[in-house]
Amino acid sequence: MELVVEESLEMLIYENRLQTFKGWPFDEDCKCTPENMAKAGFIHTPSDNSPDVAMCVFCLKELEGWEPEDDPEKEHKSHSPSCHFMALKKRVEDLTVEELFKLQLEMNIRKAEKKCNEVITKFREAASVKRAEIVKSATGEE
């Protein structure tokens, strides 16, 4: 694994996060404007069924179902209190190289944890299906 992954570093920059909010369903009359969402560490990750999904590039927490009065920073803190981005005391652009690497390390740990959890979930689902097939076969049920 490379020490520095350019793609993840690009999303550390506010302007790059802000650019992902094209088509965001909330405008300047709301608390969850694209600017406030990007300031809170989110990028816009819509799907066909959920046009208002946003994900923190730091802790990978995905939130949807936004309401115009939702404050992105408060929502982020309440749903992901251990997010290192929310704990920063300064702007990403003002971080030292050491602080930047620590932040990136935490990002990579979260990505690895998320991937591992996805694999574990898939394994458990497959094991459950297989168990049901074995029980069905052992009991002679069709």
Q: Which pLDDT tens digit goes with each residue over 107-141? A: 888 889 999 999 999 999 999 999 999 998 888 77
Q: What is the mean pLDDT of the segment spanning 17-31?
A: 91
pTM more than 0.85: no
Cα distances from 67 to residues 46, 70, 71, 135, in angstroms, run 15, 5, 9, 47
76-97: pLDDT as tens digits: 999 999 898 888 888 888 888 8
Dihedral sign, Cα of residue 81, residue 83, residue 84, residue 86:
negative
Determine whether domain 6-139 maps to CATH 1.10.1170.10: yes
